[in-house]
Chain A
Amino acid sequence: MASQPTSRPEAILPPRSEVGVIGWLHANLFSSLLNSVLTLVSGALLLLGLWFGLKWIFFAADWTVISELGGRFLLGRYNTEAACDGQNCFWRPQAALIMVSVLLGAAWGLRSNQVARTIAWLVAGVSAAFAFLPYSLETMGLDVRILLLLNLPAVPLGWALARYTPLGTGTRITILGVAIFFITLILMRGLPGLPFLQPVSVVYWGGLSLNLILAVGGITLSLPIGISLALGRRSNLPVVKVLCIFFIEVFRGVPLITLLFMSQTLVPLAFPEDMPQNSLFRAAVVITLFSSAYMAENIRGGLQALHPGQAEAARALGLPGWQTTLLISLPQAIRNVIPAIVGQFIGLFKDTSLVYIIGMLDVVAIGRSFIQSNPEFLPSARELFVFLAAVFWIFTYGMSYVSGKVEDYLGVGIR
């Protein structure tokens, strides 16, 4: 910890050149002749890049391809005639989005978490802003716009639920989150027999919502599975240990693309032909298991970095082995490998795009197929992919930002 300035007479302020704007500039940018030259040259290059970049974004680029892509960017072919059998299914993903807004609001209300507040208002605000997109009312109906606007009151609703109802505990909000995930899946997939929930085959799912569903499912499951595998690999039981090593090495050693192909071609052979096949489910399982194998090794690294005295002290206090692992080893191990875990989450999110190889139209694939089927937009491919890159970056940076806040909260690197 930094020592506080004391009232003793010999404690004086640091030299002026070390503090303030001038001090910072001097220390970091102009500390020597060589550094001054480097500062000027790299500054000039930076400005040049910025100039051309901004000029392209605001004047040269033609962004109509994005507005033409419209809702397909978020939902793929979900709300088409073929998918929904003539019904309007658009309200279903939108209801799911509103539930997510409620959940984020609840996370904010739980402990007045400022990060959750920022994210909740960001998600709800962007969703509501979509309601004012300058499409015609035929393209984007009033009902759609109203449902989008409902995200705004959803946030304070969630906040109030967490504040003033028995729902407001961490465990219950977590359960609510899991429930919302499954309700979302049911809403999207539909239920046979319910006229207003016409089944929509998963082959019509697509766009960013597909990436998000795969990523959320994968992230929430790959952490506990990875932890179990890591513990299994360190187990004293030889069979458990060998099985975990086998699983980890197989899933880590084969490319994800290969695993995805195998999931579509080999796995169905193992089941009776008349069993309902769900390619999305198989893809989700493969992505989750693939990520779990990496996660296991991240966690194992964290466990190995712990001083053996930690577990010894816990055992000496009479804590049984499983409590020692759960209360002493794992919390410390996970804290220490948060950067690696978040790296794995980000990797998983980006890898969800690979489902295009089994014919699913994720957000990248939907963009590509749009350009291929509308050749007049071929010159706009650049704009499209810049936009997609920005979308991916926003989500991955969001994860980095949250993990940074979690590290601050836990005091990682400080204590």
Chain B
Amino acid sequence: MAVEETTTDQGVEDIIVCRDVHKWYGNFHALKGVSTTVKPGEVVVILGPSGSGKSTLIRTINHLEQHQRGDIIVDGIELSGDIRNIDAIRREVGMVFQSFNLFPHLSVLQNITLAPTKVRHWSKSQAEEVAMELLTRVGIPEQSAKFPAELSGGQQQRVAIARALAMQPKIMLFDEPTSALDPEMIKEVLDVMRELASTGMTMLTVTHEIGFAREVADRVIMMDEGNIVEEAEPNEFFTNPRNERAQLFLSQIL
């Protein structure tokens, strides 16, 4: 497979570093000095009530949102205003959105091969070969010639995952990947994500799927009002949350 990140040694360099990250929307203070680090191969699940800044945080990591204070360093590259740095980071960071955001005017195969051919300059045949491998991996190779609108939500999201993986990223960001799906389709997407985590991919996932967090995450980050209020291993977090806000949140969703 494309991604060879298998080491999870404690000694390795952090692949994502956030230091005192602030973000404002107008006067609204969305991120209030968030600091955290992620090691290669780590699976981090970010929980929290809506409006707590979870999505904003992972969107600052590939600069879809610009942070106004603090430092974000991804794979050794510092996110500054420099467009070359931003594009370099985006090549290494894949993202999956809540609303899939597949390109409706392109077929499934074209959706996946677009970035590898245009950004990585692979040949069409090489890109298509990788795309078919990925479609097989997410379980829908037979849908390659269809257009996104002809697929179910779960299938679309699996195509979106394959599209992000085609760039052979080192990090995958998932922004509520199952929130727009019917219950029976959530499982097929989570299965793909589970398999991906088992290959050692570094993953940051915003989700409300507690089962997934418990089973797959190496670490859970709980956010509230633009701050990280608790960071812990899933077992500890779900059975013995220390923070009052985390206890309240868990009592509401469990």
Contacts and interface: CB of A to CB of B under 8 A. Distances in A.
Interface of A: 1, 307, 309-310, 312-320, 323, 327-328, 331-332, 335, 410-411, 414-415
Contact of A331 (B64, B105, B118): B105
Interface in B156-202: 160, 163-164, 167
Interface of B: 62, 64, 87, 90-91, 93-95, 97, 99, 101-105, 114-115, 118-119, 147-150, 160, 163-164, 167
A320 B150 contact: no
B97 A309 contact: yes
A318 B150 contact: no
B103 A315 contact: no
Contacts, number: 65
Given A310-B103, A331-B105, A415-B149, A317 B163 contact: yes
A415 B95 contact: no
A319 B115 contact: yes
Label chain B's interface by main secondary structure. mixed
B99 A309 contact: yes
B150 A415 contact: yes
Nearest to A316: B95
Nearest to B91: A318
Given A323-B118, A415-B149, A317 B164 contact: yes
A359 to B, nearest CB: 46
B119 A332 contact: no
B114 A313 contact: no
Given A312-B97, A315-B64, A327-B118, A1 B90 contact: no
A310 B62 CA distance: 15
Contacts of B90: 315-318
Nearest to B98: A309
Contacts of A310: 101, 103
Given A313-B160, A327-B118, A332-B103, 19 more contacts: A1-B150, A307-B99, A307-B101, A309-B99, A309-B101, A312-B101, A313-B95, A313-B97, A315-B64, A316-B90, A316-B94, A317-B94, A317-B167, A318-B119, A320-B119, A327-B114, A332-B105, A411-B147, A415-B149
Interface centre among B91, B115, B167 (most CB of A within 10 A): B115
A318 B147 CA distance: 22
B149 A312 contact: no
28 contacts: A1-B150, A310-B103, A312-B64, A312-B97, A313-B95, A313-B97, A313-B101, A313-B160, A314-B103, A315-B64, A315-B90, A316-B93, A316-B94, A317-B94, A317-B115, A317-B164, A317-B167, A318-B87, A318-B115, A319-B118, A320-B87, A327-B118, A332-B103, A332-B105, A335-B105, A411-B147, A414-B149, A415-B148
Contacts of B147: 411, 415
A312 B102 CA distance: 11
Contacts of A315: 64, 90
A410 B104 CA distance: 11
A332 B99 CA distance: 17
A323 to B, nearest CB: 6
Contacts of A415: 104, 147-150
Nearest to A309: B101
Contact of B104 (A314, A319, A327, A332): A332
Nearest to A313: B101
User: Closest 7 CB pairs between A and B?
Assistant: A313-B101, A317-B115, A415-B149, A309-B101, A318-B91, A316-B95, A318-B90
Contacts of A411: 147
A332 B148 CA distance: 14
A319 B118 CA distance: 7
A137 B88 CA distance: 74
Contacts of A1: 150
A328 B99 CA distance: 16
Contacts of A328: 103
Nearest to B146: A415
A364 to B, nearest CB: 40
